[in-house]
Structure 1
């Protein structure tokens, strides 16, 4: 199925509600910053950025007038300090803003900022984007329900995100996957099954290969691969359940074929169960934080009535939970989906306790 039929052509940016803003303040996600997304749009010109294969990277490197460049550089150093340090200006003398890149591809149209330490040439990226409530929910859910912590800041209409390091999925599939060993391919298959399940559970959509990264970690005598999303623009917006399952995007065809060739159905079912159990444990351990987030989300407008009606009916067909039919907001659908996973995990755990005759 083509993405044009699978997904809406354009997703709007949703404003931050008062409840979500209160949540962000409570967990120190919001702080005054000296520059806004619109400020970076005042560039004088741009040049195309090519990748290592001399192909268009879909990013352009922007430049500013001499007067504006000095002010923008200083403000971006301040943002770096707030995001990654103590917010002070003592480190400014050691920092240089090497590049400001702009991406016109996709919904978010982000700016990518490259900041280099002039003492040792180490560099770090961060992103400046337009604030979007559904993206913030996606970032927070990734922070709580995945193995990774995310660092981001929100101030009015501007969102600052720390860079997520890894090999872009499309690059990995094209250039590195053919050279992987058979054990590597088996492990990648397992991780893709788990990633696919995790996206569906928390309704994170549009995980085409260029919207996630592969993270290799060397462990003794082998390499461990993990898959991480890097774009949270499509958090619980679309109405088709297939959008929330990476396996249905043509860009992931080779990963799906890898799963088919390397894993038996029993193994796939086992890894799905493992991932559901892990997510359920993270929901429980998140305590009041995820409850606060869901209280804001269930009242928020982050999708269209048509998408809500379609998704809740498709999830009902999958779960047969009549509560989904009563939802009027996308946040309610998301909340019930997480509750469904948690309740099923607790039911299985209680059954195991009773079967083993363990007293609690």
Structure 2
């Protein structure tokens, strides 16, 4: 059953702690950049950006005065070089800033920068946002616990994120899903189950259809679909467990219907186990790095006391692990959630080893 109004209030931005800042520097996530989020707010005019159907995209294209434009353009080209290349000025002469768009919808209010290579007209995007510790934790956890690597930079109060390519979930559900074959719909149902499980395990919230993308990949004679999160604002903040389960957002109703119509209960359980096992393997493979990150998060405050109290009890009801009742921060809940998945995987693996030895004997 889908719920509405799961997101209670607008989430505040949380500062990056000294320990998290040190972590970011150690793992090359921190880099000095020549432009800040606040600099881009100095635009002098704007126009609404419409999509191909003449509908408002909730983005506006901003313009700067002549005195600011040259400086901002050069700074954005340098940011692109730092994010995607070696940070040198050698490629700047071949780059052009085609557009600077600003989104007034949502928490992060990002700027989207379109950079084009003038030699071949290839272009890409990156985003400039205000730094938020929740978002940083979300990006790092996505990098380590999902199948996808992420490239981002943090400097003081500014966060630079690479663009994640794909078809926005809401557009895919409306325009592409009806045209999918029955086999493709079954595959999408499987991917949604795995995506749903992965979000819940690592406490990534608010995965409404416009906060993730569908990535189609052609493989021999068919298309393989994957689901990727693109918004990490609601990492470990809300108190309701269902916020971390995409299946409970009304915007995902069509995807939930796919699961109901295409997958048997046994298959759903199987895919959940598969995803937990994969996440557990990633936790083990990242070892010290993920242990360091969650240890920093344990002592950090990225939510309010009421949310922590509500979430720890709801997860206790699900797992019956008494340790959740003792949690005082979202970081402690996250640590236990990841440990719970890892322990279950290790226990099952050890059980299989023992059983195999008995069979051999």
TM normalised by structure 2 equals: 0.98
Question: What per-residue deviation string (whole Å, max 9, x for no partner) do you get for residues 17-36 of structure 1?
Answer: 01100100100100110000
Give 1:3 deviation, angstroms.
4.0
Residues 1:237 and 2:237 are matched in the alignment: yes
Partner of residue 176, structure 2: 176
How far residue 294 of structure 1 moved from its aligned partner, in angstroms, is 1.0
Matches within 5 A, 1:63-78: 63-78=63-78
Question: C-alpha separation between the residues in 1 aligned to 2:188 and 2:159?
Answer: 32
Residue equivalent to 2:116: 116
1:295 aligns with 2:295: yes
Match of 2:147 in 1: 147
* Equivalent residue pairs, number: 358
Q: Which runs of 5+ in 1 are unaligned?
A: none
User: Within the alignment, does 1:34 sit opposite 2:34 as a pair?
Assistant: yes
**Partner residue, 2:13:** 13
Shift of 1:116: 0.2
SS in 2 for 1:15: coil
Indicate the SS of the match to 2:299: coil
Aligned to 1:258: 258
Q: Give the TM-score of the pair, scaled to structure 1.
A: 0.98
User: RMSD of the TM alignment (CA)?
Assistant: 0.9
1:353 and 2:353 are equivalent in the alignment: yes
Partner of 1:188: 188
Q: Aligned partners of 1:8 and 1:257: how far apart in 2?
A: 26
Determine whether 1:334 maps to 2:334.
Answer: yes
- Quick one: distance in 2 between partners of 1:342 and 1:67? 55
Checking the alignment, whether the CA contact within 8 Å between 2:33 and 2:155 is kept in structure 1 is yes
Report if aligned partners of 2:3, 2:248 keep a CA contact under 8 Å in 1.
Answer: no
| 1:357 match: secondary structure | helix
Superimposed CA distance per residue, residues 121-144 of structure 1 (whole angstroms, 9 cap, x where no aligned partner) = 000100000000010000000000
Secondary structure in 2 matching 1:161: strand
Task: Give the distance between the partners of 2:108 and 2:234, measured in 1 at CA.
Answer: 10
Deviation, 1:212, is 0.1
Runs of 5+ consecutive residues of structure 2 not aligned to the other structure: none
- Name 1:271's counterpart in structure 2: 271
Which whole-Å deviations, capped at 9, do the CAs of 1:65-108 have from their partners, x for residues lacking one? Answer: 01100000000000000000010111111000000000000000
Aligned to 2:88: 88
1:2: how far off?
A: 5.2
Which residue of structure 2 aligns with residue 130 of structure 1?
A: 130
Corresponding residue for residue 309 of structure 1: 309
Question: For the residues of structure 1 that align with 2:76 and 2:206, how far apart are their CA atoms?
Answer: 30
User: 1:79 aligns to what?
Assistant: 79
Provide the residue aligned with 1:280 in structure 2.
Answer: 280
Write out per-residue CA displacement over residues 253-310 of structure 1, whole angstroms, 9 at most, x where no aligned residue: 0000010000000000000000000000000000111011011100001000000000
Tell me how far apart the structure 1 counterparts of residues 292 and 26 of structure 2 sit (CA, whole Å): 10
Distance in 1 (CA, whole Å) between partners of 2:256 and 2:105 is 26
Secondary structure in structure 1 of the residue aligned to 2:170: helix
Q: Deviations over 1:142-192 (max 9, x none)?
A: 000011100000000000000000000000000000000000000000000
